[in-house]
Amino acid sequence: MSLPKPSWSWASLPALLLVWCIAASRLPPYVLPQPWEVASEALRWIRSGDLGRQIGASLLREVGGFGAAVVVALAIGTAGGLSERFRAFVSPLVSLFMAIPPIAWAPLCLIFFGLGYLAIAVVIFIASVFPMAVTIQEGVLGIVGGQVRAARTLGASRAQLLCHVYLPASLPFVTAALRIGFSQAWRALVAAEMIGASQGIGWMVAMGGQVGNAGQVLLGIALIGLIAWLAETIVFRRLERHYQAWRAP
């Protein structure tokens, strides 16, 4: 009986902490504090209640901007997959918007909507809607034609085709689109908060840098990575595994 191969994924975080400790021991604390000093900074934020407020502000913006992007991306991607004319019409626009870094829209959004929730939510929307729309469109285009012909032979209407053929068959691509879109949205959120917000995780990082508090900066960076990792592991990977079997051979 062969023993299972050991997994080395568990060792990556301790290795990172070890490198961090070694590097911090050779640098001044105001440049790179030790991990326990960052943990102490985290406890200070937790006890004051500010950490929860900053995380909540970021998540609220993410949910608003990303949620709106999902709805619009589903509409654009599905329509682009079903209609050649619509696809030809939107393709140049999608290519143009995807070529522009999302953070470039932040100053314009701040001018239009002012400092606050809406400006950052719009940046998140722009960052995530087009990559998701393209992925969903490719999924609809990749649906096997025999499935559609069989449904039409059985008398399925256009609405029934959409609900019972196109939607189930494209779900693996929809879940992949959500994973890609969330990643883009999260990066845009943090960058936009560093430019034009008065609270949020990105604001924490920016303010820590301005006042020279490296512990606060590293705490914000750790939160950014931790929340993204949790979303990736708990939500999107599970969704992809669940619907991967639906992918047409």
Residues of the domain holding 203: 36-244
Which one has a higher pLDDT value, 145 or 63?
63
Tokens 């900066």 -> residue? 217
- CATH number of the domain encompassing residue 119: 1.10.3720.10
Statement: residue 3 has pLDDT above 80: no
20 assigned to some structural domain: no
pTM of the model: 0.82
Specify the number of domains making up the chain: 1
Other beta carbons less than 10 A from residue 63's beta carbon: 13
6 assigned to some structural domain: no
165 assigned to some structural domain: yes
Over the stretch 96-107, which tens digit does the pLDDT of each residue have? Answer: 888 888 889 988
Question: Average pLDDT for residues 150-164, to the nearest whole number?
Answer: 61
Statement: residue 124 has pLDDT above 90: yes
Name residue 68's amino acid.
A
5 assigned to some structural domain: no
123 assigned to some structural domain: yes
> Rounded to an integer, what distance in angstroms lies between the CA atom of residue 203 and that of residue 99?
26
29 assigned to some structural domain: no
Question: Average pLDDT for residues 188-202, to the nearest whole number?
Answer: 88
177 assigned to some structural domain: yes
Give 62-90 as a DSSP string: HHHHHHHHHHHHHHHHHHHHH-HHHHHHH
Question: Average pLDDT for residues 127-131, to the nearest whole number?
Answer: 93
Which uninterrupted H or E stretch holds 7?
none
Question: Average pLDDT for residues 114-122, to the nearest whole number?
Answer: 86
